[in-house]
């Protein structure tokens, strides 16, 4: 805690511009969390194991039985699958964000931050930025594993980078949901459970692992308006991973998935950042 206090108190002098001060404080907190992650590498390593297991299991166990675009080709399904695995990975970082903030609350570190002359929202912003860096590292490793099992990008590097940008934006948006959960529970264990229990139906009632056109009508409508589905479909289009016979659902989010993905992410950030900062202020008041 002394290191954190010294890091913040010895940073650049206070400025009268609240925006500049908030950015500066957020970066200091983000740096603190990144250093903490480097000192506990097993957290990063274990975070990589789950998505790699999903890639291998879905590719080789279910790959030959999944029908996408009228084909059950394992190679086609592996390419169809990867956008869903990427999106699931970035959203599952929500649990880590919530657990980290809950742990800081539990240990009283938030009270130390409260005693410092820093922007109130900087603690949460710094934490979510550090989680974004960790998520980006996970995505890079996951992409390497995906290439090894046969996944390929067919639309060029610029579109692939745009797809990864949409994924990281979605992950950052969901980290604010994790922040709110972390502030609303008493222990890191509860934050981890609370951060995952709603993510499983969100990711599975979507187009991440199966073609939503094959779902029953009421379930298909939920999947098509799921923010998760918009990002997954946008990434498939940008990666060039849509199977030849795929029929795009005739609803607005699926017809304009990239725009829908950006809009959903921005709305989630605005809503849950506001709620999380308000909860932080009331929790430390």
- What pLDDT is attached to residue 63? 64
Q: 97-121, pLDDT tens digit by residue? A: 788 888 877 777 666 776 677 777 7
**Closest by Cα among 70, 282, 43 to 183:** 282
pLDDT digits (tens, 9 = 90+) for 146-175: 888 888 899 999 999 999 999 999 999 999
Count CA atoms closer than 13 A to 270's CA, side-chain side.
Answer: 6
CA distance 258 to 263: 9
The pLDDT assigned to 9 comes to: 44
How far is the C-alpha of 216 from the C-alpha of 127, rounded, in Å? 40
How many degrees, rounded to 5, is the angle at CA 229 between CA 227 and CA 232?
A: 115
Q: Residue 91, SS3?
A: helix
Give the pLDDT score at 49. 80
Enter the pTM of the model: 0.85
pLDDT score recorded for residue 254: 94
The ranges of the chain with pLDDT < 50 are: 1-12, 285
If you compute the radius of gyration of the chain from its CA atoms, what whole number of angstroms results?
A: 20
- Measured between alpha carbons, how far is 229 from 9 in angstroms, rounded to an integer? 44
């Amino acid at each position: 805690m002394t290191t954190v206090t010294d890091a913040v108190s010895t940073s650049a002098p206070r400025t009268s511009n609240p925006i500049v001060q908030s950015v500066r404080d957020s970066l200091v907190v983000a740096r603190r969390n990144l250093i903490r992650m480097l000192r506990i590498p097993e957290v990063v390593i274990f975070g990589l194991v789950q998505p790699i297991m999903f890639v291998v299991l879905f590719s080789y166990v279910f790959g030959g039985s999944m029908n996408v675009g009228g084909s059950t080709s394992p190679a086609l399904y592996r390419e169809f699958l990867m956008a869903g695995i990427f999106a699931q990975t970035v959203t599952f970082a929500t649990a880590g964000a919530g657990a980290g903030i809950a742990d800081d609350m539990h240990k009283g570190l938030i009270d130390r931050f409260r005693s410092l002359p820093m922007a109130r929202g900087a603690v949460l912003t710094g934490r979510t930025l550090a989680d974004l860096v960790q998520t980006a590292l996970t995505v890079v490793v996951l992409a390497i594993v995906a290439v090894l099992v046969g996944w390929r990008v067919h639309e060029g590097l610029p579109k692939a980078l745009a797809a990864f940008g949409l994924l990281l934006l979605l992950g950052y948006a969901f980290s604010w949901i994790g922040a709110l959960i972390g502030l609303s529970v008493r222990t890191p264990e509860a934050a981890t459970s609370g951060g995952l229990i709603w993510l499983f139906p969100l990711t599975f009632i979507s187009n991440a692992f199966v073609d939503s056109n094959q779902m029953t009508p009421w379930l298909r409508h939920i999947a098509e308006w799921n923010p998760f589905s918009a990002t997954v479909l946008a990434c498939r289009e940008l990666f060039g991973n849509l199977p030849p016979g795929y029929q795009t659902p005739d609803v607005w989010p699926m017809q304009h998935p990239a725009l829908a993905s950006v809009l959903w992410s921005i709305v989630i950030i605005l809503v849950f950042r506001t709620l999380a900062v308000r909860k932080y202020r009331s929790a430390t008041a």
